Amino acid sequence: MDRPQDNAPNSRLGLKNQATEVKKGGAEMKRLFPCFISRIQLDFLLKYRRWYPRSRAIGRVMDSPAAPSWLKTSIRAAQAVLGNTVMVRDCIQMKKCILWIGFGIFIVVSGCGTPARNTLFQTSTIDALLAGLYDGDISCRHLLKHGHFGIGTFNRLDGEMVVLEGTIYQVKGDGKVYKPDPNCKTPFAAMCYFNPEKTISINTNTDYKRLERLIDASAPNQNLFYAIRITGQFRSMKTRSVLAQKKPYPPLKEVTSNQPEFDMNNVFGTIVGFRCPPYVNGINVPGYHLHFISGDRTRGGHVLSFEMINGRCDVDILEKFFLRLPDTKDFAETDLSRDRNKELKDVERGE
């Protein structure tokens, strides 16, 4: 086999000469390397070819109808510049190398698009919901890109949302639990990736008030957001849901004055929710906002009161808050300047 460059195959001078040839190639290079990737392949060949052992299989590859065309193109192109010292393995390794680089870039780019840990993602504001903005503007599918844990409501206020382990549950006004279509929209929701940092064991009878005190003692910083997951056995659980509304939408206080409520006894399940700082007034619910889903995923709703027998409470501190707002005509035209704190208190605890 004729190897014109065997005299100095691995020397810096040899590589330099080849690099000069590449530069000189001009029109010939453009003809042989029609795409950018092939040119990158050649650069690699020039730089790293000494790392790979030689192969005499070039001829077989070029004659074989089964050999992929990209390989033949690469070999032909590289041969034009390097002579017969080009190796099949070089071309394959370069292809693999380029694929790995591409994969690496994909991972980095897709990683940049994923929200960071410890971030509360929220769409719309609680005051917009209190004002009667029930038309959803982002889909459940979109919501799951911002977390696998959370609470909210649905288009037209059609039930309470519980998101647990990446599954969205819809507790409708009839008290039953549904799995909504991924295209179903939401007007208000808060989501996060739940990575618990603290765990509180619950071994004695614990009601809503006692649970608040337990969590407050364990998470004393009132100025951060906390995601809360409580799993266990409940002697009693009282929840509510809301019924889908028709336009013109009434304010939330009016809707919840006739809310369907559900009493469960001796039920195992999970509470999903958040504790928000006092300064989120108007944006989210200051303090605790909890939703419930039973272990068999058949019952649930917005938590009004409960008595827990035993279980555990996991807490995740969220020091980042991402608020996304609806770019809709209704949102633009609603007066969100007045204080709706009193309405919120009535709505949240069903008073």
Residue 231, burial from CB neighbour count under 10 angstroms (0-12, 13-18, 19+): middle
Q: Is 217 left (phi over 0), alpha (psi -120 to 50) or beta?
A: alpha
Which H or E element spans position 177? strand 177-178
Identity of the residue, 202 or 272, whose beta carbon is nearer to Zn ion in the bound complex: 272
Closest CA to 194 of 310, 274, 113: 274
Identity of the residue, 85 or 284, whose beta carbon is nearer to Zn ion in the bound complex: 284
The angle subtended at Cα 48 by Cα 45 and Cα 54, nearest 5°, is 75
Q: What is the largest CA-CA distance in the chain?
A: 92
> Minimum Å distance from CB 246 to Zn ion?
21
> Minimum Å distance from CB 108 to Zn ion?
38
List the x/- string, 250-289, binding to Zn ion by CB under 5 A: ----------------------------------------
> Minimum Å distance from CB 102 to Zn ion?
45
Give how many residues touch Zn ion by CB under 5 A.
1
3-state helix, strand, coil in the chain (%, to 5): 40, 30, 35
How far apart are the C-alpha atoms of 167 and 148, rounded to whole Å?
7
Identity of the residue, 156 or 302, whose beta carbon is nearer to Zn ion in the bound complex: 302
List the x/- string, 20-49, binding to Zn ion by CB under 5 A: ------------------------------
Identity of the residue, 14 or 150, whose beta carbon is nearer to Zn ion in the bound complex: 150
Given the rule CB under 5 A, which of 84-92, 107-115, 205-213, 296-304 is the region that contacts Zn ion? 296-304
Identity of the residue, 14 or 173, whose beta carbon is nearer to Zn ion in the bound complex: 173
Q: Which residue's beta carbon is nearest to the bound Zn ion? A: 302
> Minimum Å distance from CB 271 to Zn ion?
11
How far apart are the C-alpha atoms of 25 and 32, rounded to whole Å?
10
Given the rule CB under 5 A, which of 136-144, 260-268, 274-282, 299-307 is the region that contacts Zn ion? 299-307
> Minimum Å distance from CB 152 to Zn ion?
8
Asked if 302 is part of the footprint of Zn ion (rule: CB under 5 A), the reply reads: yes
> Minimum Å distance from CB 151 to Zn ion?
6
Cα pseudo-dihedral 53, 58, 64, 68, rounded to 10 = 70
Interface residues with Zn ion (CB under 5 A) are 302
